[in-house]
Structures are given as C-alpha cells and as structure tokens.
Chain A
Amino acid sequence: MDVLDLSRWQFGITTVYHFLFVPLTIGLSVIVAGLQTAWYRTGKPAYLRLTKFWGKLFLINFAMGVVTGIVQEFQFGMNWSDYSRFVGDVFGAPLAMEGLMAFFLESTFLGLWIFGWDRLSPRLHLATIWAVAIGTNLSAYFILAANSWMQHPVGYRLNPETGRAELTDIWAVLTNSTALVTLPHVIFGAFITAGAFITGVSAWQLLKKRHIELFRTSARMAMAVTLVASVGVAFSGHWQAQIMTEQQPMKMAAAEALWEDESSAGFSIFAVGDVARGRNHINLQIPYGLSLLSTNTLDGRVEGINDVQARYEALYGPGDYRPIIGVAYWSFRLMIGFGVLAALLAAAGLWLTRRGRLPENPWFHRIAIWGIGLPFLANSLGWIFTEMGRQPWTVFGVMRTAAAVSPGVDIPEVAITLVGFTLLYGVLAAIEVRLLLKFIRIGPEDEPGQESADVAPALSY
C-alpha cells in the first residue's frame, strides 16, 4: 500500500463513518422539531414526552456527527493537498459557505435548544429547534454542491498558466444539475433513516409493552415518514440515474455491468462477469429496465463499459478509465435492495397497525428492530457507489485521484492517522451505541417539563 491507497482508505472510512450520523441528524432534527410544534400547537403532554425522548437520542447522535465532521474538513488539506491546490478556488467556496451559513446556525441554536427550556418563551424555544433543522439541511445542500462539482464540474475554467481550476460562475456551481437531483435523494434517504430508527426503537418498546400508546403513535408517524420518503428516494434516484447516464456513462455502465453499448438495455439483477475479458458469464435481467431507468424510453441507448473505455482513451489518452466493476455493480444493487426492504417494512407496519391495531405476533417487532440497519447500509453503499464509481477521477474528466494526494506526506504519517482514526472511531461507535441503548431503556420521562433536557437537577441558571 502506498500513500495514495492509505489516503483513500482513510477518506473512505472516515467519510462513511461520518455519514452514519449525518442522515439520522438531518431526519431526526426535522421530526423532533415537528413533534415540538405539535406540542406547542395542541398542548398535549404526549407530544412533549416524545419531543424530549427522541430529542435526547437526537443529541447523542448529533454529537458524533459534529466531532467527526471536523476531520472531514481538515482531511482535504492534510491528505489531498494537491487536490486542494487544484480545486480550492472552486471547491472551497461552498465549504466556507457551509460553515458560515449552516454550521454556525445549527450549533449555536442547538445550545440554545438544549439549555433554553426554562429560559426562552415556548415560541422562541420552538424556533431554536427549527433553526437547527434548517441548519442541518442547509449544510447538506452546500456539501452536496461541492461534491457534485467533483461529479460534474461546471462554472469553472482551467487556467493554463497555473494549471488550476478557477471559478467563473458561482451560480452554476450552486445550481449544478447534479447537486439539484442529489440533494432530494440524500434528504429523502435521511428521512428513511430517521423513520426506520424511530420505528425500530418504538418496536422494541412495544415488544416490552412499555408506553404502548406513545410508541404506537411514534411508530406509525415514523413509518408514514419512511414510506413517503421512499417514494421520494425512488423518483429522485430515477432522475439521478438519467443525469448520471448523461454525465458519467462509465459509472452507469459499471453499475449495470453493461459491457457494450445497447439499445433496449435490461436492468441487471444478478451478474457474474469477467472484467479482464469485458463480458458477463451470467446476467439475469429485467428486460428494458435499464433503458427505462436511464432514458425514460424502452429502446433508449445506454453506453457500455468497453465502448466508453475506447472513447475515453481517444479523449483523455491511454489509461484504464473503469472503476472497480464489482464494487460499482454490487453497491448500486444492494443500495436499492436495502432501500426497498426498508420501504416494504414501513408499508407492512402501517398495514399491521391500521385503525388502532397492534401486531399480536412479536415477529414484526423483531424485524423492525433489525430494520434500523437497512437505511444505514443503503446510505453507505450509495456513497461508496457514487465515489468509487467515479474513479479513476477525483474531479470527473479533469483530475485523477492519483494526482490529488499530498506529495509531502509519507506512509508512516498516513498509517498513523488511518489506524488512529479507525481505532478511535471504533471505540466511539461502541460508546454511542451503549449510550443510545441506555436511554432507549430508560424511556420517556413520566412528567416532562420539570427540568432542562441536559442540565443536572442540582443546577439552575
């Protein structure tokens, strides 16, 4: 392993890890704000209890998102200094905007929300959690605009003198078509994540026959959120596929193990291929599926790996322009598969709890508890697909990943940080899960509103 491989592993591990917490934060922030709004409007104590219970789990998760997020920003400069030199003029702008517009908003108002129960009027206090929710969603937009520029660079020119990318149109970067379709996909995915989380935790409580009315409400609300968000994820994913077919045909072809250009291409369900020879041994397909997905027509033409490779060699010079086909193919498939399972679970749950019912049989509860993992797997695989599928490029068509790594950093240094972050993150994951379980077991407070969410009873402001 060289510095490049180690840096890529580090980026992969720290980013996938960071993104375990982010979607849950995005989804839960809005749901908790919604619950508090319901309490503010109706005055029903049940909504306050739910706000506080889910709010506490939200905070435990939020902290991990915050502390792992700093690593993300530093990492570009630490491990990818040539990338930073090359793209800073363009890529730095959305990152700086994210900090100034979104991070300040969410972190400052979260402090007010946690400690402000007794110090702010109910109306103002409600506004603080909405400010947090807006901040988290806004930050998703800016970071996706930055990432989308790597997928589909727009609004820039290459300066022949310095060899750097220079921003020419910030509006083009902020309204990049890739960003506009990726944002809803990620946000809806975040709501599926939060929905499945709330459903699973509620199922555990129902299995133990605790706070039955409260958690029946929670579960039904969460399953409705999951189901609606699943529809959103499917539609936005469809648009994404179309844009990807147009902008990064190699990624789409790799996702489908489609070797040659094809009209009326089928959607592959299961394939075993021979990458060296560029063909499949087995390929189980839904006829016309891929053409429909990526062009909206049954006979649309979809480019294949071998053909795109030949075209890119003519365009960019000799080289291998294929990502790791197996990774792209399976991460894409499994992302969709896990997402579909999460949606089916929510649909089944809504049916089983219709009109005041609760499932008699405990099997559904148990599945729902394990179902918490589904969206996390789908989110991670989605990012692995979109980032690994872009290889060998770091900025598509403009800069290769191999040229992006820090030239001045050596193997021992990256090895230290890779091992260090991985171990630290592993320990933190164990602590976070234990803490979540502890507060899930404790359950909602019986008489909420007596004390601040996070201040020891012995203290007063």
Chain B
Amino acid sequence: MELTTVWFLLIAVLWTGYFVLEGFDFGVGVLLPFLGRDETDRRTILATIGPVWDGNEVWLIVAGGATFAAFPEWYATLFSGFYLPLFAILVALILRGVAIEYRGKSDNPRGWDRSMFFGSLLPAFLWGVAFANIVRGVPLDADHEYTGSLLTLLNPYALLGGLATLTLFTLHGALFLTLRTEGDLRARAATLSKLLALAALAVGGAFLVITQLTVGRPATWVVAGIAAAGIGASLPATLRGRDGWAFTASAVAIVAVTVTLFGNLWPNVMPALDPANSLTVDNASSTPYTLAVMTWVAVVFTPLVLAYQGWTYWIFRRRLTRSRS
C-alpha cells in the first residue's frame, strides 16, 4: 500500500475515534439540561464523562496534527477556508472544557451548565456541516485557496449534515448515559434514546441517502446501510435493557457514517467544485520520507494509546449511582 493511502486511512481512523468518543461527550453535554432534574442528577451526568473527556478530545488534536504532517495542503486549505466555523468550534470547545473542569469547583454551577450545553451542541452540529462540505466539494482556486464565503458553507445539504451529526451524537450520548447510570436517571435516558434513535434514523438516513445519491460510490452504500442498521439496532437493544449492545450499535453507526464519508472522499481529500483544483492524497501530501517517519511513529504509539485509553474505560466501567444520603 502506498504511504499516502496509509495516511488517508490513519486520518480517517483518527476522526472516527474522535467522533465515536467525543460524540458521546457532546451528547451528554447536550442532554444535561434535559435529563438533569436536580443538582445530584447533573453531577452524576457530568461524572460519567469526567475522567475521559479530555483524553477523547486529544483525538481531534492528533487528527489535526496528523493532517498537518501528512497532508499540509489539506490542513492549510481546510483550516483557512473554514475559518469562522472553526473559530466557533474552538470557542465552544474552550467553554465546554472549562465548564467540565470548573463547574464542580464553582459557586455557580448553573451558569456553567449553559456553557456545557452550547459548548457541546455547537461542535456536534458544526463538525457535520464541515464534513458535509468537505465531501460535497467547495470552491477552490488553482492555488487550492478556498474562494467561497461563510454562507457557501451554510448550504442546505451541509446544514442537514450538521443536524445528522447532532442527532446521532445526542443519541450516542443518551445511550452512554443509559449504560453508565442507574435508576430513574437511566430510565429517563433510555426513554429519550428511543425518540432520538427515530430522529437520528430520519435525519441521518436522509443525509446519507442524499450523500450517496450525489457523491456516493457502490461500496459505500453497504457502509451507509450498516450505519442505518446500527442506529436502528439501538432501539430493540434499549427496549430489552441490553444497554451495552445499544451503545455498541450507535458506536458502529458513527464508525459507519465516518467510513461512508471518507470512502466517498477517496482519493480526494478536499474536492473542489472545479475538479481540476481538487486536493487529492497525491497533490496534498508530504514527501515519502516524512510519511515513512510518521508511519513508524504511528505504528509504535497508536496501539499503546489505544491500550491505555481502553484500560481507563475498564477502570471506570461501573455504573454511577446516587448515594442515599
């Protein structure tokens, strides 16, 4: 396999990891005001992601760094082109991170809850907008500079993509809370997750179908089907109280959605409306030497990271309970 292919796959893996892991963090943040009836509820909800959210966010940082190292042209065009949406994502991630860490130490936790909500909602929506635009193609000139405006990015298809990731991540968060809590809180999360599964199936399904009809290729129809099946399967699993399987199903759905998007993208990394200006794995990539160096680093350290992050989830595997104080 060519190294450019390896790195395209690796960056797809990093985004997949980010969406699967941070996806439920976002969902938990969005659901905080709806499921948290009292202070203990809200603390319990946030405690489910407390030990892991920061490690999950690093997947984004590494995806960004890997894109910079392996496909500098892609990194430069994407980040300067999607300037204001990325600014909004950054502000949201800052507010959310500070909210999680400072809420419990502050005298005014309710104020932080708003930061938590919007700081989770906005990226969950905007990442969908961004990836819908990447897959559909944006106006680029011969120097690979983005020539559109903010409004170019806020087209109906991209907004649908935003709603798709938002509902999917919210569902994922609801299923995570169902899995990680007990009693009344768990029951409410389970009930909500059924509604969210239907919503995600409708919105996500519409997005995937339009994606497949416009830029899809035969192979990704199968993956898109798996995505729909994953969302669908979470419903019966929740009904039968198989919380672990329900969460796994939504994780599979997120993996499948990401694979569908990247599968349609290949061999482009950022298609332009004029195909002559498209960024591809070849014209956006670093030199073979850099890719070889980074491949060694990735081969050694990625399994290590997966091992210790997996171990963290094992340590914090028990459900959170309200104490009867």
Contact = CB atoms under 8 A, between A and B. Distances in A.
A67 B97 contact: yes
A85 B73 contact: yes
A74 B72 contact: no
Interface stretch (B189-197, B261-269, B289-297): B289-297
B91 interface: yes
Contacts of B51: 111-112, 114-116
A100 B305 contact: yes
Interface in A419-461: 420, 424, 428, 431, 435, 438-439, 454-461
B120 interface: no
Interface string A399-421: 00000001111000100110010
B47 A70 contact: no
Contact of A408 (B58, B80, B320): B80
A458 B77 CA distance: 49
B89 to A, nearest CB: 8
Tell which of A78, A96, A97, A420 has the most Cβ of chain B within 10 Å.
A96
A456 B44 CA distance: 9
A110 B100 CA distance: 14
A60 interface: yes
Contacts of B58: 99, 103-104, 107-108
B79 A84 contact: yes
B256 interface: no
A76 interface: yes
Contacts of A78: 79-80, 83, 86-87
B199 interface: no
A221 interface: no
Interface in B41-97: 43-44, 47, 50-55, 57-58, 60-62, 64-66, 68-73, 75-81, 83-84, 86-87, 90-91, 93-94, 97
A241 to B, nearest CB: 32
B76 to A, nearest CB: 4
B316 interface: yes
A73 B287 contact: no
Contacts of A420: 87, 91
A63 interface: yes
Interface in A353-393: none
A458 to B, nearest CB: 5
Interface stretch (B102-110, B152-160, B222-230, B235-243): B102-110
A170 interface: yes
Contact of B86 (A59, A74, A96, A120): A74
Nearest to A456: B43
Contacts of A116: 51, 315
A76 B62 contact: no
Interface residues of B, number: 73
A92 interface: yes
A73 B68 CA distance: 9
A85 B72 contact: yes
A407 B62 contact: no
A65 to B, nearest CB: 10
A64 B95 CA distance: 10
Contacts of A99: 58, 61-62, 64-66
B290 A103 contact: no
A13 interface: no
A381 B267 CA distance: 46
A455 B76 contact: no
A424 B96 CA distance: 13
Interface in A86-128: 87-93, 95-101, 103-105, 107-112, 114-116, 119-120
A285 interface: no
B263 to A, nearest CB: 23
Interface string B91-127: 1011001100110111100000000000000000000
Contacts of B5: none
A236 interface: no
B147 A103 contact: no
Contacts of B315: 112, 116, 119-120
A60 B294 CA distance: 34
Contacts of A424: 91, 94
A302 B104 CA distance: 56
A59 B316 CA distance: 20
Contacts of A90: 290
A167 B297 CA distance: 15
8 contacts: A67-B94, A70-B57, A77-B76, A84-B68, A85-B73, A96-B65, A100-B66, A109-B308
Given A69-B61, A81-B77, 17 more contacts: A56-B105, A66-B97, A71-B90, A77-B68, A77-B79, A92-B65, A92-B70, A98-B65, A99-B66, A100-B302, A104-B309, A108-B308, A110-B54, A116-B315, A406-B80, A439-B105, A460-B323
Interface of B: 40, 43-44, 47, 50-55, 57-58, 60-62, 64-66, 68-73, 75-81, 83-84, 86-87, 90-91, 93-94, 97-98, 101-102, 104-107, 143, 145-147, 286-287, 289-290, 293-294, 297-298, 301-302, 305, 308-309, 312, 315-316, 318, 320-323, 325
The 4 nearest A-B residue pairs measured at CB: A88-B72, A77-B79, A92-B69, A81-B80
